[in-house]
Amino acid sequence: MQQLTYKEEFIRFMVENGVLRFGEFTLKSGRKAPYFINTGNYKTGAQLARLGAYYAACVHDNGLQADTLVGPAYKGIPLAVTTAVALYEKYGTDVNYCFDRKEVKDHGEGGLFVGKALENGERVIIVEDVMTSGKALREILPKLKSAADVEIAGMVISVDRMEKGLESGLSAVQEAYKEFGVKVYSIVTMADIISAIEKGVIDGKEYLSAMYEYRKTYGVD
């Protein structure tokens, strides 16, 4: 039996944990999609440990170098923590982590961030679950820049939907680079997911025609 790549393992992991589902779903955008991603189904220690390993593999494989991982509140917080642990355990890379407060604290240590105090010239990687509109990036960037003159080494997400937005012909990932100069790296892309179905890594061949059609209508490369 052919050994799976970590990307294929991750896709199977999402399906097994009910994070990636196939069928007919109406998205917030109003589009009817043949798949749905619900990262809220990650809720156990075992899931987070494996999730961190996949994020760490993405960081490592793309040669990303950083001093600190930043997890935008709230979903990014456990992701930054578990990725930092996995980077140390799998690759011997010890990085800091921090996350932003939703409201500025004016007592105790105060500040916008909890964890590593950011410094000028520090290289940071932003860790998020998925990117739909780029809202999390828009909110975290001004906070980072007000804390210190940091260098954004990149942003890591779990899935790149490779889907154009409602107002432009660009995907959220492409918009992030065009608007902010931030390169976004994903563990897997929608093309990887389609390939996994085609290869039989996961079930779902009955949804392939709908996936192809959806990609033809809304997809970007």
Catalytic positions, written as ranges: 105, 107
Q: What token pair was written down for 205? A: 């061949």
Classify 113 as helix, strand or coil: strand
Alpha helices for the chain (secondary structure H): 6-16, 45-61, 76-91, 135-147, 172-180, 190-199, 208-218
Describe the strand order of the beta sheet including 111-115 as a list of residue ranges: 111-115, 96-105, 68-71, 123-127, 151-160, 184-189
Contact 40, 17 (CB under 8 A): no
Question: Could you give the CA distance from residue 213 to residue 219 in angstroms, rounded to a whole number?
Answer: 9
